[in-house]
Amino acid sequence: MRTKQAKKLHFKRYHWLLLITLILFAFAFRLFRLNTWRLTNDEMSIGYNAYSILKTGKDEWGRSYPIIFQAFGDFKLPVYIYSVVPFIALGGLTPLMIKLPSILAGISVIISIYFLAKQLLNDEVTALIAAILMAFSP
- What are the residue ranges spanned by the domains of the chain? 39-135
pLDDT above 60: residue 112:
yes
What is the bridge-based pairing of β-strands 69-71 and 74-76? antiparallel
Mean pLDDT over each residue of the chain, to the nearest integer? 87
Closest CA to 85 of 54, 56, 61: 54
Neighbours of 88 (CB within 10 A): 19
76-86 residue pLDDT tens = 889 999 999 99
Per cent of the chain over pLDDT 90 is 47
pLDDT above 80: residue 75:
yes
- pTM score above 0.85: no
11-42 residue pLDDT tens = 667 778 888 999 998 888 888 877 777 888 88
In whole angstroms, give the CA distance from residue 89 to residue 93: 8
pLDDT above 70: residue 111:
yes
pLDDT of residue 98: 92
- Spell out the residues 6+ positions from residue 101 whose beta carbon is closer than 8 angstroms to its own: 80, 83, 84, 87
Residue 43: burial class (beta carbons within 10 Å; 0-12, 13-18, 19+): middle
What average pLDDT does range 102-112 have in this prediction? 93
